[in-house]
Structure 1
């Protein structure tokens, strides 16, 4: 393989690992929160409603974290733009070259 192919392969591998990490996070989120919901329902007192704020705190805040994780995996270019990382690396390398010549 050429050097360029190796780089592209490593980038693709890194992206696959990030996606796999998100799916694992989502699965753990679903399993743990399902268990919390089941335990909360089993511990309800006679006539008590499940729909109380304390029953949704974990679900809500962890959901925000999961959403942020998903956005970072599937929309990395949304905020910083396409190839932002590479452009920044080139920019820093150019700055270093200028410093060497000065």
Structure 2
């Protein structure tokens, strides 16, 4: 069965959004690696261990971002939340 142009457009937009989110996470991970490598070199040069704090904190943020992108976009969580809001608004009387 052939999809309509509207369905094709919706699928294309969704695919682009998901690909953009995944690319955003990959860029985030690359920046994380580069910056923390530089901090590690600086820490090694100064013989201090302060760079572990940004490594751990930013690493946690990167992990949460990854979970949201890699698990959230594949499960359709955003679409379900959006539909729930639409349903809620449809039931609410307008003033």
Point out the structure with max Rg over C-alpha. Answer: 1
* Superposed counterparts of 1:38-77, under 5 Å: 38-44=41-47, 52=49, 54-76=50-72
- Contact kept, 8 Å, 2:36 with 2:55, in 1: the verdict is yes
TM-superposed CA distance for 1:88, in Å, is 4.3
User: Aligned to 1:75, what secondary structure does the other structure show?
Assistant: helix
Partner of 1:13: 16
Gaps of 5+ in 1: 45-49
Partner of 1:32: 35
- Contact kept, 8 Å, 2:72 with 2:78, in 1: the verdict is no
TM-superposed CA distance for 1:43, in Å, is 1.2
- Scaled by the length of structure 1, the TM-score of the pair is 0.73
TM-superposed CA distance for 1:64, in Å, is 0.2
- Scaled by the length of structure 2, the TM-score of the pair is 0.77
Gaps of 5+ in 2: none
TM-superposed CA distance for 1:41, in Å, is 0.7
Number of equivalent positions: 91
